[in-house]
Amino acid sequence: MRVVFILSSHDRFGDTGRSTGTWLEELLRPYYYLTDQNAIVTIATPRGLRAPIDPLSLSAFEADPLYRRYLDDRKLQNLLAQTIELSQVVASDVDAVIFPGGHGPLWDLRHDPHAIRLIEECAGSGKPVATICHAGCVLLGARTPDGKPLVSGRPVTAFSDSEERVAGFDRDVPYVVEEELRSLGALYLKADDWQEHVVQDGCLISGQNPASALAVAKAVHRALSAP
Protein backbone atom coordinates (compact mmCIF):
# COMPACT_ATOMS: atom_id res chain seq x y z
CA MET A 1 0.00 0.00 0.00
CA ARG A 2 1.88 3.02 -1.31
CA VAL A 3 0.36 6.40 -0.52
CA VAL A 4 1.70 9.83 -1.42
CA PHE A 5 0.63 12.91 0.49
CA ILE A 6 0.80 16.11 -1.56
CA LEU A 7 1.27 19.23 0.58
CA SER A 8 1.41 22.90 -0.33
CA SER A 9 4.66 24.84 -0.62
CA HIS A 10 2.84 28.16 -0.16
CA ASP A 11 3.40 29.89 3.18
CA ARG A 12 1.92 33.40 2.86
CA PHE A 13 -1.76 34.19 3.36
CA GLY A 14 -2.18 36.68 0.55
CA ASP A 15 -1.41 40.23 1.68
CA THR A 16 -2.64 39.73 5.25
CA GLY A 17 0.85 39.37 6.71
CA ARG A 18 -0.10 35.99 8.18
CA SER A 19 1.59 32.69 7.46
CA THR A 20 -0.20 29.65 6.09
CA GLY A 21 0.56 26.20 4.69
CA THR A 22 -0.88 22.77 5.49
CA TRP A 23 -3.40 22.37 8.33
CA LEU A 24 -1.61 19.95 10.66
CA GLU A 25 -4.59 17.84 11.75
CA GLU A 26 -5.44 17.11 8.12
CA LEU A 27 -1.98 15.62 7.66
CA LEU A 28 -1.50 13.84 10.97
CA ARG A 29 -4.79 11.96 11.25
CA PRO A 30 -4.58 10.25 7.86
CA TYR A 31 -0.80 9.87 8.01
CA TYR A 32 -0.82 8.01 11.31
CA TYR A 33 -3.92 5.98 10.52
CA LEU A 34 -2.42 4.72 7.27
CA THR A 35 1.12 4.15 8.55
CA ASP A 36 -0.39 2.18 11.45
CA GLN A 37 -1.99 0.04 8.73
CA ASN A 38 1.51 -0.53 7.30
CA ALA A 39 1.12 1.86 4.38
CA ILE A 40 4.34 3.12 2.82
CA VAL A 41 3.98 6.89 2.82
CA THR A 42 5.90 9.56 0.94
CA ILE A 43 5.35 13.33 1.10
CA ALA A 44 5.74 15.68 -1.83
CA THR A 45 5.36 19.42 -2.42
CA PRO A 46 5.55 21.58 -5.55
CA ARG A 47 8.94 23.01 -4.58
CA GLY A 48 10.37 20.12 -2.59
CA LEU A 49 12.29 20.83 0.64
CA ARG A 50 10.36 21.89 3.77
CA ALA A 51 6.57 21.81 3.78
CA PRO A 52 5.15 24.86 5.61
CA ILE A 53 2.64 24.14 8.38
CA ASP A 54 0.02 26.75 9.23
CA PRO A 55 0.92 28.16 12.68
CA LEU A 56 -2.75 28.39 13.64
CA SER A 57 -3.08 24.65 13.13
CA LEU A 58 -0.35 24.00 15.70
CA SER A 59 -2.15 25.82 18.48
CA ALA A 60 -5.49 24.31 17.43
CA PHE A 61 -4.11 20.76 17.70
CA GLU A 62 -1.57 20.92 20.53
CA ALA A 63 -3.88 19.30 23.11
CA ASP A 64 -4.41 16.21 20.95
CA PRO A 65 -2.29 13.11 21.71
CA LEU A 66 -1.29 12.92 18.05
CA TYR A 67 0.45 16.25 18.42
CA ARG A 68 2.83 14.78 21.01
CA ARG A 69 3.38 11.78 18.74
CA TYR A 70 4.23 14.19 15.93
CA LEU A 71 6.71 16.15 18.06
CA ASP A 72 8.51 12.92 18.99
CA ASP A 73 8.43 11.45 15.48
CA ARG A 74 11.83 12.03 13.91
CA LYS A 75 10.89 10.13 10.74
CA LEU A 76 7.90 12.35 9.99
CA GLN A 77 9.86 15.48 10.89
CA ASN A 78 12.48 14.47 8.34
CA LEU A 79 9.86 13.75 5.68
CA LEU A 80 8.40 17.23 6.16
CA ALA A 81 11.83 18.88 6.13
CA GLN A 82 12.93 17.18 2.90
CA THR A 83 9.83 16.57 0.81
CA ILE A 84 9.99 15.10 -2.67
CA GLU A 85 9.49 17.56 -5.49
CA LEU A 86 6.04 16.97 -6.93
CA SER A 87 7.34 16.76 -10.48
CA GLN A 88 9.14 13.55 -9.48
CA VAL A 89 5.99 11.70 -8.38
CA VAL A 90 4.87 9.11 -10.91
CA ALA A 91 1.30 7.81 -10.79
CA SER A 92 2.38 4.24 -11.57
CA ASP A 93 4.55 4.24 -8.42
CA VAL A 94 1.67 4.93 -6.00
CA ASP A 95 -1.60 3.27 -5.07
CA ALA A 96 -3.35 6.37 -3.75
CA VAL A 97 -2.84 10.12 -3.43
CA ILE A 98 -4.06 12.32 -0.57
CA PHE A 99 -4.16 16.12 -0.55
CA PRO A 100 -4.45 17.55 2.99
CA GLY A 101 -5.84 21.08 3.17
CA GLY A 102 -5.06 24.33 4.85
CA HIS A 103 -5.18 27.59 2.93
CA GLY A 104 -1.84 27.02 1.18
CA PRO A 105 -3.24 24.83 -1.63
CA LEU A 106 -5.52 27.66 -2.75
CA TRP A 107 -2.47 29.48 -4.10
CA ASP A 108 -0.23 26.77 -5.50
CA LEU A 109 -1.75 23.29 -5.83
CA ARG A 110 -4.87 24.39 -7.68
CA HIS A 111 -2.84 25.37 -10.73
CA ASP A 112 0.13 23.04 -10.36
CA PRO A 113 0.48 21.03 -13.61
CA HIS A 114 2.10 18.10 -11.83
CA ALA A 115 -0.73 17.88 -9.29
CA ILE A 116 -3.27 18.01 -12.09
CA ARG A 117 -1.41 15.33 -14.06
CA LEU A 118 -1.24 13.06 -11.02
CA ILE A 119 -4.96 13.46 -10.30
CA GLU A 120 -5.93 12.76 -13.89
CA GLU A 121 -3.68 9.72 -14.21
CA CYS A 122 -4.69 8.20 -10.86
CA ALA A 123 -8.38 8.84 -11.44
CA GLY A 124 -8.08 7.45 -14.95
CA SER A 125 -6.68 4.18 -13.60
CA GLY A 126 -9.13 3.92 -10.69
CA LYS A 127 -6.65 4.74 -7.94
CA PRO A 128 -8.04 6.65 -4.94
CA VAL A 129 -7.66 10.42 -5.15
CA ALA A 130 -8.53 12.00 -1.80
CA THR A 131 -8.85 15.65 -0.83
CA ILE A 132 -9.45 17.22 2.56
CA CYS A 133 -11.00 20.62 3.27
CA HIS A 134 -9.47 23.46 1.18
CA ALA A 135 -7.48 20.93 -0.83
CA GLY A 136 -10.67 20.24 -2.75
CA CYS A 137 -9.39 23.12 -4.91
CA VAL A 138 -6.90 20.73 -6.53
CA LEU A 139 -9.78 19.08 -8.37
CA LEU A 140 -10.69 22.29 -10.19
CA GLY A 141 -8.00 21.99 -12.84
CA ALA A 142 -8.36 18.27 -13.52
CA ARG A 143 -10.10 17.07 -16.67
CA THR A 144 -11.46 13.80 -17.97
CA PRO A 145 -9.99 12.29 -21.17
CA ASP A 146 -12.69 14.06 -23.20
CA GLY A 147 -11.73 17.45 -21.74
CA LYS A 148 -14.61 17.92 -19.30
CA PRO A 149 -13.99 19.04 -15.69
CA LEU A 150 -13.33 15.95 -13.60
CA VAL A 151 -15.86 17.12 -11.00
CA SER A 152 -18.67 17.88 -13.46
CA GLY A 153 -21.78 15.95 -12.44
CA ARG A 154 -19.96 14.21 -9.58
CA PRO A 155 -20.71 14.44 -5.86
CA VAL A 156 -17.86 16.05 -3.93
CA THR A 157 -17.31 18.10 -0.82
CA ALA A 158 -14.72 20.57 0.46
CA PHE A 159 -14.51 23.40 2.99
CA SER A 160 -17.85 25.16 2.70
CA ASP A 161 -18.42 28.82 2.01
CA SER A 162 -20.27 29.11 5.32
CA GLU A 163 -17.33 27.63 7.23
CA GLU A 164 -15.01 30.12 5.52
CA ARG A 165 -17.26 32.98 6.64
CA VAL A 166 -17.49 31.70 10.22
CA ALA A 167 -13.71 31.31 10.32
CA GLY A 168 -13.43 34.94 9.23
CA PHE A 169 -11.25 34.30 6.17
CA ASP A 170 -13.78 34.69 3.37
CA ARG A 171 -12.47 38.15 2.42
CA ASP A 172 -8.82 37.09 2.54
CA VAL A 173 -8.85 33.98 0.36
CA PRO A 174 -8.43 34.31 -3.42
CA TYR A 175 -11.68 32.34 -3.95
CA VAL A 176 -14.01 30.06 -2.00
CA VAL A 177 -13.82 26.39 -2.92
CA GLU A 178 -17.49 25.47 -2.71
CA GLU A 179 -18.45 28.18 -5.19
CA GLU A 180 -15.68 27.19 -7.59
CA LEU A 181 -16.68 23.53 -7.51
CA ARG A 182 -20.32 24.40 -8.17
CA SER A 183 -19.30 26.62 -11.10
CA LEU A 184 -17.78 23.56 -12.81
CA GLY A 185 -20.95 21.52 -12.38
CA ALA A 186 -19.89 19.56 -9.30
CA LEU A 187 -22.68 18.17 -7.14
CA TYR A 188 -21.39 19.82 -3.98
CA LEU A 189 -22.61 18.20 -0.75
CA LYS A 190 -22.10 19.43 2.81
CA ALA A 191 -22.95 18.64 6.38
CA ASP A 192 -23.42 21.23 9.12
CA ASP A 193 -20.41 23.45 9.70
CA TRP A 194 -17.45 21.68 11.35
CA GLN A 195 -19.12 18.24 11.30
CA GLU A 196 -17.42 15.18 9.84
CA HIS A 197 -18.51 14.64 6.26
CA VAL A 198 -16.95 12.49 3.55
CA VAL A 199 -18.21 11.96 0.01
CA GLN A 200 -17.02 9.11 -2.18
CA ASP A 201 -17.74 8.72 -5.87
CA GLY A 202 -15.79 5.83 -7.26
CA CYS A 203 -12.10 6.53 -6.70
CA LEU A 204 -12.76 10.19 -5.82
CA ILE A 205 -12.87 10.74 -2.03
CA SER A 206 -13.38 14.15 -0.46
CA GLY A 207 -13.69 15.46 3.10
CA GLN A 208 -15.39 18.69 4.08
CA ASN A 209 -13.19 19.98 6.90
CA PRO A 210 -10.50 19.03 9.45
CA ALA A 211 -13.02 16.91 11.37
CA SER A 212 -13.28 14.72 8.26
CA ALA A 213 -9.58 13.90 7.93
CA LEU A 214 -9.64 10.54 9.71
CA ALA A 215 -12.76 9.40 7.87
CA VAL A 216 -11.06 10.24 4.56
CA ALA A 217 -8.10 8.04 5.54
CA LYS A 218 -10.43 5.18 6.44
CA ALA A 219 -12.21 5.52 3.09
CA VAL A 220 -8.86 5.40 1.27
CA HIS A 221 -7.85 2.30 3.24
CA ARG A 222 -11.13 0.57 2.44
CA ALA A 223 -10.70 1.36 -1.23
CA LEU A 224 -7.18 -0.05 -1.25
CA SER A 225 -8.24 -3.15 0.70
CA ALA A 226 -11.20 -3.99 -1.51
CA PRO A 227 -10.81 -7.17 -3.56
Structural domain boundaries in the chain: 2-225
Question: Kindly report the CA angle at 145 between 141 and 147, in degrees rounded to 5?
Answer: 55
Q: Which tens digit of pLDDT belongs to each residue from 124-164?
A: 999 999 999 999 999 999 999 999 999 999 999 999 999 99
Q: Where are the beta strands (DSSP E) in 51-197?
A: 84-85, 96-99, 129-132, 155-156, 187-188
Task: Look at the pTM and tell me if it is higher than 0.95.
Answer: yes
pLDDT of residue 227: 75
Determine the pLDDT at residue 192.
Answer: 98
Instruction: Kindly state which CATH superfamily the domain 2-225 is placed in.
Output: Class I glutamine amidotransferase (GATase) domain (3.40.50.880)
The model's pLDDT over 72-128, given as tens digits with 9 standing for 90+, comes to: 999 999 999 999 999 999 999 999 999 999 999 999 999 999 999 999 999 999 999
The residue among 142, 159, 130 whose CA lies nearest residue 223 is 130
pLDDT per residue over 6-46, tens digit each?
A: 999 999 999 999 999 999 999 999 999 999 999 999 999 99
